[in-house]
Amino acid sequence: MYEKLETRTFLAMLVGVSLAFILLMKPFFGPIFWSVAIALIFYPVREALSRRLGDRPNVVALLTLTICMVIVVIPVIILVTSLIAEGLGLYQKIQSGEIQPGEYLDKINQSFPAIEAFLAQFDIDFKELRDRAVNAFLGGSQFLARQALGFGQNTFQFFLGLALMVYLAFFLIRDGNKLVELMIRALPLGDERERLLFAKFAEVTRATVKGNLLIAIIQGALGGLIFWILGITGALLWGVVMAIVSLIPAIGASLVWVPVAIYLAAVGDVIPAIVLTAFGAIVIGLADNVLRPILVGRDTKLPDYIVLLSTLGGIVMFGINGFVMGPLVAALFMAFWGIFIREFGEVPVVTVDQESDQ
């Protein structure tokens, strides 16, 4: 009896200490999460270097991390800073009156009066919709301006988080296998199940990060290129914005190029509008409709609609990290239920007659 009390007390304290540790690490969730993602994504690189260089774990981890910095981290930092700088410039032009978003919508309404009549059928006031769109545009530019100012004021905090991510990634790349084996020994789920769940976690993280980021880069580059060719102001800014919104499956970059194409048609630039529409629907849309199921859906073994819903839900719940966290939670949900069905789904049902025979 006393031993059971000791065991229960120990388990209760174990749960309590674990929850306290999780709360302690909560402020560093971003750096921890992305360091894990880096270690998983660049694991094949680490293995290839390990085969070439032999048993030199520190050197292998350092070289792997250097490759990651050159390929991913530095370009992302450059793109983010460029986006913030462009957004600050856009905000200043709006404040000075050089750019007036309301006029663009008025021109669209004047060129296509059927839009206002169509909206009126659903009791939607175009003027109210116009005001909301202008406020949303102003809010977005103000957000970028605040981020630019905040980036300057919180430079130390940003680089501290970056340094923490790189530091953790080094040890996870070097000792990741040992940590996984330690967790398999510690968790009371059964070694086979734990290996399957860890494999699914790694598989989904690699697929969503590599797939979504690759699609974002492709769509942003294509969108920025066509904007630059057509002479649209702020091609770099809109290219980066298209890369960010392309993380939303199915809709993605069309949130940017469709309104621009409508505006071009409204002001009489029919040929650029047709070119942008054709390029957006065929080339940019093809990158999403073809590559996303191949790079994300196939590798995660999730249906396309589950990828869409889990990504949207993840972004709402976890912010920008949700484009990985959402599909990850969905994949683990399906993996847990797959294990349950395989192991407990065929349990024989004991009838009343069988119980009486026993």
Summarised one tens digit per residue, pLDDT across range 118-139 is: 667 767 776 777 777 777 766 6
* DSSP conformation class of 250: T
Angle separating helix axes 101-111 and 113-120, nearest 10 degrees:
90
Q: Sign of the CA dihedral 315, 258, 210, 38?
A: negative
Which residue reads 């040890």 in tokens? 171
| Residue predicted with more confidence, 198 or 97 | 198
358: confidence class by pLDDT, cuts 50, 70, 90: very low
| 148-151, long-range: CB < 8 A, 24+ apart | 148/84, 148/85, 148/87, 148/88, 151/81, 151/84
Nearest to 99 by CA among 130, 141, 143: 141
146: confidence class by pLDDT, cuts 50, 70, 90: low
pLDDT value at residue 63: 92
d(CA 308, CA 250) in angstroms, rounded, equals: 7
Mean pLDDT of all residues in 20-46: 86
354: confidence class by pLDDT, cuts 50, 70, 90: very low
Q: Residues with Cβ < 8 Å from 247, sequence gap 6 or more?
A: 212, 216, 311, 315, 320, 323
When the pLDDT of each residue in the chain is averaged and rounded to a whole number, the result is 77
Q: Is the pLDDT of residue 44 over 70?
A: yes
pLDDT value at residue 140: 65
Burial class (CB in 10 A: 0-12, 13-18, 19+), 293: middle
20: confidence class by pLDDT, cuts 50, 70, 90: very high
pTM confidence score: 0.69
Neighbours of 215 (CB within 10 A): 24
155: confidence class by pLDDT, cuts 50, 70, 90: low
Q: Is the pLDDT of residue 182 over 80?
A: yes
- Asked if 174 and 53 count as a contact pair (C-beta separation under 8 A), the reply is no
